[in-house]
Amino acid sequence: MSKSTICVGEAAMGFGFRESIKILPGVRVNLSKSGISTSIGVKGFTYNTRGRITTSIPGTGIYHVTNLRTKGARQPSRRQSASLVFRMRVQERVVCALRGYFLSHGIYVSEANLGDGTRRARCAKDHHAYYRSDFR
């Protein structure tokens, strides 16, 4: 016998879907919007193949869920990865353009100085040795 549940979450989450199919006593295959998993257990204790352990007091509605996988181990989504790559590329281009602009006006600025608002760029006179060694 299978049991279907359609959940309506917060507005940002939209609809969810969950189906649990009993294969053997104590073994279920779970289908949801996020994928397929298997649960193994008895009343009061269930282990899920996605790394979740649920313990409960049967008949009371009281339960505790422990996630064995750390939250930090999750891979970023494709959107998050693309956003990070885009920001890094934009930052590289801005740093390159700013350094070129400042150098063209006789001001040496290291990459560390561009990212840190507490340091100040110095005049080319202060970096005379730098110019002599790098531009000859």
pLDDT in tens, 49-104: 888 899 999 889 999 999 887 665 567 788 888 999 999 999 888 888 888 888 89
Considering only the C-alpha atoms of the chain, give the largest distance between any 2 of them, rounded to a whole number of Å: 83
Paired tokens of 109: 């600025």
Paired tokens of 55: 């313990």
Do 113 and 121 meet the contact criterion of CB atoms below 8 Å apart? Answer: yes
* Model-wide pTM > 0.75: no
pLDDT at 5: 46
- Name which of 53, 25, 61, 55 is nearest 37 in CA terms: 53
At 97 the three-state DSSP class reads: helix
